[in-house]
Amino acid sequence: MRKLLILTLCLMLFIPTVIYAQKQQTTTQSGKLYGDKFIYDMKSKLLKVEGNVRVELKDGPKIWGNKLDFDQDKQIMIVPGVVRVEMERLKITGTDMEAELNNNRIVIKKDVKILSLDEKGNISATITCSKLDYNTNTKEAKVEQVTVEQEGTKASANSGIFLIDKEEFRLTGNVIISREDITLKSNEAVLNTKTQVLEATGSVEAEFQVKE
């Protein structure tokens, strides 16, 4: 009996607290994870995924990358390096992503490019920015150092808010908007890529050329 007890205790001490798995998928509270290699620390509840990483969030975006760190307690996902995100009417690429699942928030920290799609799936606008802070619940995207291009119109600003459902950009700080033979400069502007209506406010300056 004593030998059996000692053997049982030894086995308990040597049970690993880290699990390795190859080419697996796992289900989170609000989605699924896929990858070539999973390393899960059961004590810290930290999951590392490597190779062909794919995240499918329930009623939310799909995310692709090469590596992913997932803190299960804090519900935070970090994807270092190049990342691709797709959701309804948006295709996004960038570098270094952090997602706060409990706060419905996705932040891409560098080199962001956004393709906004119309109802038919065609590209309606191309947005580049230095940083993206997107709320998957309100569908509002906060951007920094942003440029918007759409059918002959180009707009740039220090920052802005993109309202996805309205296809509307609210630009702030050193706003410059160029279209054909006119250029507008202002402190703030609202550009609707669907209706192609522009409203500029705050010390507006316009430069235009007279057609001969």
pLDDT in tens, 175-211: 999 987 889 999 999 988 778 888 888 888 888 776 6
The length of the chain, given as a count of residues: 212
The whole-angstrom separation of Cα 151 and Cα 156 is: 15
What is the tens place of the pLDDT at every residue in 74-96?
Answer: 999 999 999 999 988 889 999 99
Burial code (b: 16+ CB inside 10 Å, e: under 16) for 134-162 equals bebeebbbbbebbebebeebebbbebbbb
Which residues are registered as beta bridge partners of 83? Answer: 94
Work out the pLDDT band at 212, boundaries 50, 70, 90: low
| pLDDT for position 208 | 77
Work out the pLDDT band at 9, boundaries 50, 70, 90: very low
Phi-psi region of 15 (alpha: psi -120 to 50; beta: other; left: phi over 0): beta
Burial code (b: 16+ CB inside 10 Å, e: under 16) for 38-70 equals bebeeeeebbbbeeebbbbbeebbebbbbbbeb
What is the tens place of the pLDDT at every residue in 56-72?
Answer: 988 789 999 999 999 98
Is the pLDDT reported for residue 19 higher than 50? no
The pTM is what? 0.80
